[in-house]
Structure 1
Amino acid sequence: MTTPGGEPGRGAQLARILLMEAREELVRADNKAGLLLASLGAALTALLGAIGSGVIAPRQYPVLPQLLLWAGCAACAPALVLLGLAVTPRLGHPQPFRTHYFGDARLATSPAHLEHTVSRTDPMSRDLSQLAFLSRIAWTKYRCIRHALAWGTAFCALTLLGIVTGAST
């Protein structure tokens, strides 16, 4: 998709811009998920440390505060799983007859084979393929992060509510 002067057309330029933006979103999503995963892990570690050292004694709490605390702890598990899914690398499905991704290049049987597939690959097709793939990944990562935030909020709210109501009785 080039103009008569050999310069990329508007569609190719837009595809390249959108591809850069999708890559930036992937970096942002990974950073957010990593930060949330570390924060949630630290909160869980602090809670387990306080329970293990006896600072918080949930067994001595009445039934309702115990239920709140343990329900909050149970809500932590899906949050951790979802954040883990958000930071998990997604490699796609490499194909040996094109070179759109590093996984495709990995399938080359020789440098000559790689040169052949690279020379046959249309740059616009490659950009569009990557744009579609990376956009799906970014959307999936953000969906995992949103759901993890809900579960993490439930973890914090229920656990703190259980600790506060249990300690005050």
Structure 2
Amino acid sequence: MKVFGIAGYKNAGKTGLMERLVADITQRGFSVSTLKHAHHVFDVDQPGKDSFRHRAAGAHQVVLSSAKRWAMMTELRDTAEPPLVDLLDRMSPVDLILIEGWKRDAHPKIEAHRAAAGHPLIAPDDPTIRAVASDTPLTIDRPVFDLNNTTAIADFILTEVGL
């Protein structure tokens, strides 16, 4: 499987770019999966639901399944968050996995950058960032794309991964 990331600071446009890239690349006939890193506590379950009650009772993993989809939740309890490579190993085979976040990991990525967010660029000090998608012109030693030019960004990613 091919892997490529979208990295950047908060409010840089990562999620919107990911959403547009998934739509663009799947419309081209490629299968795409995503991984999203969260720096905060989150829950995909709802209090009172059976699966929530299973986890609250102490289950390590809970699988929900229906005719439309299935999901597995794993409680880490007091163990460390698994590294990205371990999560990738658990993914079903697809043509491309797009990763949102994990900006300091070693996979190739595009940096999403919005000037109004006020954060410095990561790219100058990170060779894993192959290009920058920005809402403002930049002068840097790698390609810079308009943050809203999804087609050009998708073309770049597909070329980079050999698809």
TM-score bracket relative to the smaller structure: under 0.3
Structure with greater proportional helix content: 1
TM-score w.r.t. length of structure 2: 0.23
- Structure number with greater Rg is 1
Structure with greater proportional strand content: 2
